Amino acid sequence: MHRPWRLAPRAPRLGLPDHLLRAAARALGWLSPRIIAAILGPPPVNKRGDSLDGQLHLLLTLETAVAGPTHPTLAERRTKMRKGIALIDGPPAPVGGLVETVLAEDLPVRVYRPASPRGRPWMLYLHGGGWATGDLDSHDRICRRLCSENDLMVIALDYRLSPETPFPGAIGDVRKAWPAAAELAARLGANPAWATVGGDSAGGNLAAVMCHHHRDLDLPGPSPRLQLLVYPAMDFRLVEASHAEFAEGYLLTKESIDTYKALYAPPDDSHPDASPGLQPDLSGLPHTIVVTAGFDPLRDEGEAYARRSTEAGTPTVLLSEPGLVHGFLQMDAVLPAADAAVRRICGALQEGLRQTRP
């Protein structure tokens, strides 16, 4: 039974300093990179020669100025994520309709319906947040954009978080949700066979694992035709060079990665259910879109997955955003470069949907 829809996502309480920071963030689009460079100096350049986006350079400087505890508690991390998104959020993209309900008896979802859902594709979307933070509200904006700009029904899953439900609990939730989501999509007018899955960061990890399981274990529900993996976590060994290069200063830090890894607690870092990038066979998977950011610790493992996927014969698109950082999906309302990146993601998704139509 559908639950009453909340007219707006719940927002954390903001104090005066937060409102001042929010006002500063909203002014970013009006400041030219030349002015910012004159104030802060030139933006950092990574080892590949890519420059950090100038406006993002200022945003990161503001974030550092108001940073909280060096080693926050889990509760503080969850609060910080919600508050950080509230500080840079903008007007939500309009969608044709919104539904909140529960799948498979106990899995909350939020459904974003396009204006004309009849026969359209659908996506099960899995939010990021290190398997320990994030929820339906934290990724409301990107789900709205995926829906409105791609004429796509998006079903966002509120999977259980660690450490309350450690590895492989979230994987089990995704597997259970998939066939139920297909049935819900059909009831709400979408084409159940035009099935896709997507996610960012930890959600990209879960999306990739689900596609591997569906291929190998004959899971119920339609076969996914496309997977969208935005700066996905693909290798729990944390051995790629980008982890060392961007360990500090670019939002997702080594300290945070180590904390989330310990909370999720997979017993074997090399197991493909923890590290889908180590899946020995990447053939026979759905059309794959991998998105990476140039100043992200997870950059290299995402690129490695895209490279191996292509070599295995899986249709694969790699979108590289060289001047951005992990988490840019949430920055599109204040950062022109992030907004442009989301538009490119939607363009690649539109082309992928065209190629995978049943």
226's tokens: 């496309």
DSSP result, 6-32: PSS-------HHHHHHHHHHHTGGGS-
Which one of the listed residues 140, 296, 300, 332 is annotated catalytic? 296
Distance CA 130, CA 134 (A): 8
What separation, in Å, do the N-terminal and C-terminal C-alpha atoms of the chain show?
A: 30
Tokens 């044709």 correspond to: 96
Q: How many helices (H) and strands (E) does the chain have?
A: 11, 8
Which one of the listed residues 138, 148, 162, 201 is annotated catalytic? 201
255's tokens: 């300290």
Distance CA 198, CA 357 (A): 17
User: Would you call 326 a catalytic residue per the annotation?
Assistant: yes
Q: Count of CB atoms within 10 A of residue 354's CB?
A: 8
Nearest to 333 by CA among 63, 128, 53, 26: 26
Residue 153, phi then psi, degrees to nearest 5: -80, 125
Distance CA 312, CA 290 (A): 15
Q: Tell me if residue 188 falls in helix, strand or coil.
A: coil
SS3 content of the chain, % helix, strand, coil (to 5): 40, 15, 45
Distance CA 352, CA 350 (A): 5
User: Would you call 309 a catalytic residue per the annotation?
Assistant: no
Residues with Cβ within 8 Å of residue 328, at least 6 apart in sequence: 56, 293, 321, 335, 337, 338, 341
User: Would you call 51 a catalytic residue per the annotation?
Assistant: no
**Catalytic residue numbers, as ranges:** 201, 296, 326
